[in-house]
Amino acid sequence: MKILYFAFLRQRTGLGEETVNAPDEIQDVAGLVEWLKTRGPGHAEALRDVSAIRVAVNQEFAGMDTAIAANDEIAFFPPVTGG
């Protein structure tokens, strides 16, 4: 699946985008977040406080309990500040 990071999450992970193969037992956003945190200290720091993070699955706002699948595009970002 394709993971996107924006704003401070992009800076802390050092990545705008990465393609990952999450283990099959990961079925929702919450599980994905926990797994992504194991990928390195930047990821752990970026994803530490989930209350400060919003998520979109396939470009639609989603929640921690949203189900995910192998070909999804999942984006993490702070609350939007508007234009």
Identify the residue among 1, 3, 4, 36 touching other proteins (CB under 8 A).
4
Cα separation, 3 vs 72, whole angstroms:
8
Q: Is residue 14 part of the contact set for other proteins (CB under 8 A)?
A: no
Identify the residue among 36, 47, 62, 75 touching other proteins (CB under 8 A).
75
Site mask, other proteins, residues 37-66, x = CB under 8 A? Answer: -------------------x--x-------
Single-letter amino acid code for the residue at 77? F
Helix then strand count (H, E) for the chain reads: 3, 5
Report angle CA 58, 61, 65 to the nearest 5 degrees: 90
Binding site for other proteins (CB under 8 A): 4, 6-8, 10, 56, 59, 75, 77-83
